[in-house]
């Protein structure tokens, strides 16, 4: 396909923005923030180098002290966080890019050793995920979380709302709610993690309630056209099992979220194309699909088929700051180095080579 005919390189409306390309940098934890959650010194360079994609979605960023789970992840709820993120958003904007900050509450995917306050993690129910987590002193089992009281669930919704406001104050173009990958929002969906008996547990409607309340609160705070959400239907990692009702829960959830007029829905797609087609019919705004491990020769097929409006890529953009140029010129791609994904300095972060065009 000639590049000028390739739909990946055509403009697309996403919320209040017009993006030049239909390619997205997927959110990727890099664990290079300061211990207090302030983004690291190299983060502005890292994101600015990749500003040529249509849209950057930042690494998962905690909306509160209790939202942190992993070591050295950034926050967006203190003045220092806001100042740190402002450097990043300014650097991206200077390169003509757009960036949404992803709000991620880890929920039970938490180890107290990784957080400044060292408190027990919080979750829909007091059920551990049955896995380990890296800490400063090595791998440790994740302890049983504390179940949130009903009023604390509502306070957590407010934490997301305030963090979204802070993200906009920091210059972000919008926010993406992390409702995927076994973190707090998805923990509410899954009967294996949620055995609540209040209005946030039991029925499909109750288990979807937290996600809908978070999206509604943020949309009211910063505008629906700057609010987005990421979901991973069918994920079974870290003790998450959504059960036989899972597909129906997502159909209900997506239909309810669609009423809000959000900027986009970002789906981590695990291979059930018939179900993805159902989501496509239910969702009337921009749809981003991310297929982990997708081979290069299949890049663009979801946009070309109409299944998605945009496609998101993680490791390929991590390792190729000039991802767009390499696609356009059919140049070879750098290989990502998994040893440098998490923590460290410039190595494997801001030092990947670019083409000499």
Provide the annotated active-site residues: 183
DSSP string covering 155-191: HHHHHHHHHHHHHHHTT-SEEEEEE-TTSHHHHHH-T
Quote the CA–CA distance of 49 and 231 in Å, as a whole number: 27
8 Å CB contact between 319 and 336: yes
CA angle at 306 for the pair 302 and 309, rounded to the nearest 5°: 75
- Buried/exposed code over 189-216 (b: 16+ C-beta within 10 A; e: otherwise): bbbbbbebeeebbeebebbbbbbbbbbb
Question: Which residue is associated with the tokens 């029925």?
Answer: 203
Question: Which residue is associated with the tokens 């697309």?
Answer: 12
8 Å CB contact between 279 and 256: no
8 Å CB contact between 285 and 261: yes
Quote the CA–CA distance of 334 and 320 in Å, as a whole number: 6
Quote the CA–CA distance of 344 and 283 in Å, as a whole number: 40
């Amino acid at each position: 396909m000639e590049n000028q005919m390739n739909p990946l390189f055509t403009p697309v409306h996403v919320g209040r923005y017009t993006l030049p390309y239909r390619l997205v940098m997927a959110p990727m934890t890099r664990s290079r923030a300061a211990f207090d959650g302030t983004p690291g010194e190299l983060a502005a360079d890292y994101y600015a180098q990749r500003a040529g994609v249509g849209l950057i979605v930042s690494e998962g960023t905690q909306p509160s002290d209790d939202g942190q789970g992993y070591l050295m992840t950034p926050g967006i709820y203190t003045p220092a966080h806001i100042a740190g993120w402002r450097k990043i958003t300014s650097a991206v904007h200077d390169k003509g890019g757009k960036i949404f900050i992803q709000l991620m509450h880890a929920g039970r995917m938490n180890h107290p050793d990784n957080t400044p306050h060292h408190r027990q993690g919080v979750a829909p129910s007091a059920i551990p995920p049955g896995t380990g987590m890296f800490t400063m002193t090595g791998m440790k089992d994740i302890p049983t979380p504390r179940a949130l009281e009903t009023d604390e669930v509502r306070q957590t919704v407010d934490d997301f709302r305030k963090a979204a406001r802070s993200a906009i104050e920091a210059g972000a173009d919008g926010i993406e709610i992390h409702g995927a990958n076994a973190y707090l929002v998805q923990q509410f969906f899954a009967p294996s993690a949620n055995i609540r008996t209040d209005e946030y547990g039991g029925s499909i409607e109750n288990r979807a309630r937290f996600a809908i309340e978070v999206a509604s609160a943020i949309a009211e705070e910063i505008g629906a056209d700057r609010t987005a959400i990421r979901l991973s239907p069918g994920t079974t990692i870290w003790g998450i099992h959504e059960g036989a009702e899972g597909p129906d829960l997502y159909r209900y959830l997506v239909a309810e979220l669609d009423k809000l007029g959000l900027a986009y829905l970002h789906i981590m797609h695990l291979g059930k194309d018939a179900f993805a087609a159902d989501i496509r019919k239910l969702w009337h705004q921009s749809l981003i699909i991310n297929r982990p491990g997708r081979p290069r020769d299949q890049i663009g097929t979801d946009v070309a088929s109409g299944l998605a409006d945009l496609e998101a890529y993680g490791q390929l953009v991590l390792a190729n700051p000039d991802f767009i140029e390499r696609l356009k010129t059919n140049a070879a791609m750098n290989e990502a180095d998994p040893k440098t994904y998490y923590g460290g300095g410039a190595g494997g972060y801001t030092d990947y080579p670019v083409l000499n065009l």
